């Protein structure tokens, strides 16, 4: 088992058109720099219960919610490093706890219950989560991300996610096949801070009329799927009655 990571921070999301993104970053550019990864692809498999309990609860906006995902970066192969990650949110603060494994051992653990070597508090938490919820893979979700870091405060991070795409079949990180695009022409910006926003950032957000939104990629895809399902069922009932 590789490294274990713990993140605790406030994260706020903003939905931007490509035009808003260009204008905002033209103004914010002198205060930021790209991180060392540049533009890269993030791939996730979200796990949930048979009745999608985790995402349904999340959409209800409770004080506490949690998700579990398998995450990898770039092109994923059997020897690639991936992360098993529990993401929790309580009273607006996001806590991410994850362990690093290679793809082969991650699959053995998730599919066959073969526990990786080593111990640690985070692995114990993941063990408990899996035994409590018995989650299964429900959604592949990927996006292209570029991240910026504050010049004066490297705990300030802004990420821009574009080309958000998903599928409900072939739920494998190693498969880079067909997907459905979510909200084409739109960017999702996340601002991640350990404390409060710097004054210059708050002023820019106000100038460009950018306001935080409650938005979950997984939640939005689930919501659209359920809307489509209800519409399809309604049409089916109408055809039978008519």
pLDDT tens sequence across 176-228: 888 999 989 899 999 999 888 999 999 999 999 999 999 999 999 999 999 98
pTM for the full predicted model: 0.90
Q: Rounded to whole angstroms, how far apart are CA atoms 6 and 70?
A: 15
Residue 67 tokens read as 């998700």
Residue 88, Ramachandran bin (φ over 0: left; ψ between -120 and 50: alpha; else beta) = beta
Task: Classify domain 4-241 by CATH architecture.
Answer: Alpha-Beta Barrel (3.20)
pLDDT digits (tens, 9 = 90+) for 115-173: 988 778 999 999 999 999 999 999 999 999 999 999 999 999 999 999 999 999 999 99
The answer to whether residues 70 and 47 touch, using CB atoms and an 8 Å cutoff, is yes
End-to-end Cα spacing for the chain: 60
- Say if residues 146 and 49 touch (Cβ distance below 8 Å): no
């Amino acid at each position: 088992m590789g490294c274990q990571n713990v993140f605790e921070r406030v994260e706020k999301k903003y939905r931007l058109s490509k035009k808003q993104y260009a204008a905002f970053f033209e103004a914010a550019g002198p205060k930021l720099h790209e991180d060392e990864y540049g533009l890269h692809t993030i791939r996730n498999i979200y796990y949930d219960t048979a009745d999608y309990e985790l995402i349904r609860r999340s959409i209800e906006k409770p004080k506490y919610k949690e998700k579990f995902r398998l995450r990898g970066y770039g092109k994923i192969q059997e020897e690639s490093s991936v992360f098993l990650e529990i993401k929790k949110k309580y009273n607006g603060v996001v806590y991410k706890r994850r362990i690093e494994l290679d793809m082969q051992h991650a699959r053995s653990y998730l599919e066959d219950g073969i526990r990786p070597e080593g111990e640690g508090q985070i692995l114990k938490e993941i063990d408990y989560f899996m035994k409590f919820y018995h989650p299964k893979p429900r959604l592949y979700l990927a996006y292209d991300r570029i991240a910026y870091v504050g010049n004066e405060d490297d705990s300030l991070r802004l990420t821009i996610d574009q080309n958000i795409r998903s599928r409900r079949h072939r739920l494998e990180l190693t498969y880079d096949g067909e997907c459905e695009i979510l909200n084409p022409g739109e960017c999702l910006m996340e601002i991640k801070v350990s404390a409060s926003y710097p004054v210059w950032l708050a002023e820019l957000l106000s100038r460009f009329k950018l306001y935080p939104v409650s938005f979950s990629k997984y939640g939005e895809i689930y919501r659209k799927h359920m809307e489509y399902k209800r519409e399809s069922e309604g049409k089916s009932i109408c055809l039978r009655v008519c």
